[in-house]
Amino acid sequence: MGKAHRWGARLAALAAVLCCVAAAQAQQSSDPAVRVGVGASGTRVVLDAQTKMDVSPASNSGDTQLAFAVSGLEISHAMRGAGAGLVKAWRIETIDDVPQLTLDVSQDVEVAHRFLIPPTADISHFRYVIDLTSALTGVRVAKASLSERTAHKGVKPAVTKLVVIDAGHGGHDPGAQSGDVNEKDITLAAALHLRHRLERSGRYRVVMTRMTDVFVPLEQRVRIARRAGADLFIALHADTAGADPATHGASVYTLSDHGITRVNQVLDGHEWFSHAAARNDPAVNGILLDLTQRSTLNRSNAFAQLLVDRLSAKVDLLPKTHRDAGYFVLLAPDVPAVLLEMGFISNPTDVARLTDPTQRNQLMDAVADTIDTFFEDRVRLAAN
């Protein structure tokens, strides 16, 4: 089953809940609003407010409730409401001059994710998202992690991740050039080694957007990743500074805020978030898409930072190494994605490193190590 379909299954119930709440009233009022939705993977709580919030766990959390101090929140009176799923009820009240959100829970739960979504062009207020899972879910994930770690002993893991590797350019598009060196050849050689390294571990399934010197349109590269249900997409490139031979170093790109607004360029008429919502409500569709994009971007940024940290010990990096851009291959709303500029082929040192198989393979080994750490950390986070 593709990843987009899995997300649809998880959030279909949430969509129905969102259709029923008075979201429009919450946006018009200065008071916050709380929405609770149920999906296959747990319960999502969304706190809507007109002001930016800083949310942190409060000291009075216990086995039967979770409490969060919400500084920056403005409330005129105490509020309460019914919950759903793992949340029996919620309330917002002021305790020691600080607004507090308290969730009464039906069993031992874990906080899988917490993140703030700032206003967008379509939604003018702030949203704070809290994803809850049953503590038993964490036990199941931890067992899957243990199974994955046996891969190096030749035991096939119970859970594998699907990684799409995109070798930039190809065919009639050589990419950046320096003498007789073409970017398309460097990226393909690097991608093939990365594929070999990942598949050798037995922990991953790998899909390549190209395996030979052929041209693949950008939209096709994104389509490959989405249809495969990729857990991670990594595009490999080599930069150029034109006539400036001094500029050198690797850099990592994730999608910019401007790029997020271009998502319609990679969507079609059969998207899960367009059909999961009751009555096909456009407002709910937009909320589901935005939540998906923000969650995906958070994971992309997490991987990018891990990659920067790992590469810093291997190669020179550009200043402000983690950058953002609206590159087309990063537009998928449901696939975490990064674009790695491995260096500048306009720089003698970088081009020598990128054309030397040993040094290039060492760079890809560092990328593979980062992928290992990324998925191990996510399993560990879910288990804790």
The secondary structure of residue 266, as a DSSP letter, is G
Residue among 118, 60, 113, 52 nearest 91 (CA):
60
For the chain, the straight-line distance linking the first and the last C-alpha, in angstroms and rounded, comes to 27
| 123 contacts 96 by C-beta, under 8 angstroms | no
Q: Which domains does the chain have, with CATH numbers?
A: 3-141 (2.60.40.3500), 160-383 (3.40.630.40)
CB-CB neighbours of 113 under 10 Å: 16
pLDDT at 97: 85
pLDDT at 144: 41
Q: How many CA atoms lie within 13 A of 45 on its CB side?
A: 32
Sequence-ordered strand ranges (E) for 74-160: 79-84, 87-95, 98-105, 109-117, 126-134
| 259 contacts 325 by C-beta, under 8 angstroms | yes
Residue 90, φ and ψ in degrees, nearest 5 = -135, 160
The secondary structure of residue 179, as a DSSP letter, is T
pLDDT tens over the chain, length 384 residues:
555 455 554 554 454 444 444 343 444 446 788 998 876 567 889 888 888 888 888 766 667 888 888 888 888 889 999 988 889 999 999 888 889 999 999 887 878 778 888 887 777 888 888 888 876 544 343 334 434 444 444 444 434 899 999 999 999 999 999 999 999 999 999 999 999 999 998 899 999 999 999 999 999 999 999 888 899 999 999 999 988 999 999 999 999 988 888 888 888 655 655 544 444 555 666 677 778 888 899 999 999 999 999 999 999 999 999 999 999 999 999 899 999 999 999 999 999 999 999 999 999 999 999 999 999 876 555 444
pLDDT at 137: 44
CB-CB neighbours of 172 under 10 Å: 9
| 159 contacts 140 by C-beta, under 8 angstroms | no
Task: Say how far apart CA 318 and CA 250 lie, in whole Å.
Answer: 6
pLDDT at 133: 82
pLDDT at 17: 44
Q: Is 267 helix (H, G, I), strand (E, B) or coil?
A: coil
pLDDT at 30: 65
